[in-house]
Amino acid sequence: MTRLHLFDLDGTLLHRTAAPVEISRQLGLEKEIAKLERAFVARRIDSRGYAQRVHGLWAGLTETHVAAAFDGAPWLRRIRDTWTEIRNQGEYCAVISLSPSFFVERLTTWGVHAAYGSRFPHVPFIEPVDPAGILTPAAKVEIADRLCAEFGLTRADCVAYGDSLSDAELFGTVPISVAVNADRYLMGLATHSYTGQDLWDAYELVRRAR
């Protein structure tokens, strides 16, 4: 019997931050992104509205900025070790995030089987963002279902890791979930809870659970 481990990015693999925040920091736009983050958390804008606004903020974005944001971000420890162990156990792992795919997909070099994010135009931007390519919390469940079909699994074989409201729908569809440095709402939905900065320790909570 095998499983599929589904990881959120912002606030989960990234400790107390998000990919758009780290990207905006490279452009000197800390105040602007903080304002957008507050609006998103307060649900005054949805993921598509958020994406359109950050697209406007990032007019000067280059691949150099993206690489610096990725390399300098505060990642949890032992991410690669955890994914290597999952692979060694004959299981699968994937990242599903509302953040830009051009950031999320860099994680495939760390050993994750698949990485999905919102589709933005190529950097530097010369095209507008297409709202149809921006993921929503419900899209996390849809992508999980597609991955299950690809790997010959079902929702019953999945483990989800997340930190906030955007992970709630996915947590509600899988039998095992881990709230990682999460808000109280998600902790109430999770089967396990972890606070710390080491992904391996969060994984240990479900390593032998079935």
What is the average pLDDT across 18-23? 98
Pick from 141, 38, 158: which is nearest to 96 by CA? 141
What pTM did the predictor assign? 0.96
- Span 179-194, mean pLDDT? 95
Say if strands 176-180 and 92-100 run parallel, antiparallel, or are unpaired: unpaired
Q: Rounded to 5 degrees, what are φ and ψ at 208?
A: -110, 0
Number of H helices, E strands in the chain: 10, 6
| Cβ atoms of residues 73 and 14 within 8 Å | yes
Task: Write down the pLDDT at residue 210.
Answer: 59
Secondary structure letter of residue 12 according to DSSP:
I
Residue 204's Cβ-count burial label (10 Å; 0-12, 13-18, 19+) is: middle
Q: How confident is the model over 154-175, as a mean pLDDT?
A: 97
Whether residue 14 is predicted with pLDDT greater than 70 in this model: the reply is yes
Q: What is the pLDDT of residue 124?
A: 94
pLDDT (tens digit, 9 = 90+) per residue, 194-209? 999 999 999 999 987 7
Q: What is the largest CA-CA distance in the chain?
A: 48
The pLDDT tens digits of the residues spanning 67-118 come to 999 999 999 999 999 999 999 999 999 999 999 999 999 999 999 999 999 9
Cα Rg for the chain, rounded, in angstroms? 16
Q: How confident is the model at residue 1 (pLDDT cuts 50, 70, 90)?
A: confident
pLDDT averaged over the chain?
96
112-158 pLDDT, tens digit each: 999 999 999 999 999 999 999 999 999 999 999 999 999 999 999 99
pLDDT in the model for residue 208: 73
pLDDT in tens, 29-38: 999 999 999 9
Cβ(5)–Cβ(93) below 8 Å: yes
